[in-house]
Amino acid sequence: MPNTNEKHHHFKIFKPYGFLSQFVQEAKRKKKLLGDLANFPNKTMAIGRLDHDSEGLLLLTTDGMKSFQVRDKGIEKEYYVQVDGEITEDAVLKLQNGVDITVNSTSYLTLPCKAFSLNGEPNLPLRGRNIRDARHGPTSWISITLCEGKKRQIRKMTAAVGFPTLRLVRVRIGDIHLDSMIPGEVVSLPDFNIEKGELI
């Protein structure tokens, strides 16, 4: 039987650009891992993932059951997305209603989601690597909120409506927010409310 008296640890971090959402190297080429950010307790794991090029809010825990429950509840995850070009109302509407992307070599229609244009650039720390030269044309920012999480889904979605993703930052999971954290910052949390994804 599991030890119900075992004290678990929970964290939120700002995953920087260029880090993998894992603690163990899976390839010969050395990559930056979450364990490079802090001395986490033994058995700490990421709840969900952000790919190598994506940034922002990531939850960590030593409680494997809680990790499973959070991922299994369809909790909202909000992302700020910088795209190539000035995104149109028609493109945003398509994102809201669902678009066809490819998942595991198979066509997949994304579920309806929340999406809207942001007024100007959001207040985020600069990324460690330059996005691109402004002379290459305008960019714009949108908010996309999903309750699903296929591999590289948002990048595939914005590309499907003609506006490739340049920068992707997760800013919210349920009611847990990135707030004013900076890349690489680690904040200890008391616990998660599994039903709503909020702090208790």
The pairs formed by 41-46 with CB atoms below 8 angstroms and a separation of 24 or more are: 41/9, 44/9, 44/11, 46/21, 46/22
Q: How far is CA 42 from CA 10, 19, 61, in A?
A: 12, 20, 10
Q: Do 45 and 28 form a contact (C-beta atoms < 8 A)?
A: no
**Catalytic-role residue among 36, 51, 175, 179:** 51
> Which phi and psi (to 5°) does residue 43 adopt?
75, 15
- Catalytic site residue 179? no
The residues that bridge with 101 in the sheet, in sequence order, are 108
Pairing type for strands 106-109 and 100-103 reads antiparallel
User: Across the chain, where does the E strand assignment appear?
Assistant: 10-15, 45-47, 55-61, 77-84, 100-103, 106-109, 114-117, 139-146, 165-173, 176-177, 186-189, 192-193, 198-199
Q: In the numeric block, which tokens belong to residue 197?
A: 């994804």
Residues carrying an active site annotation: 51
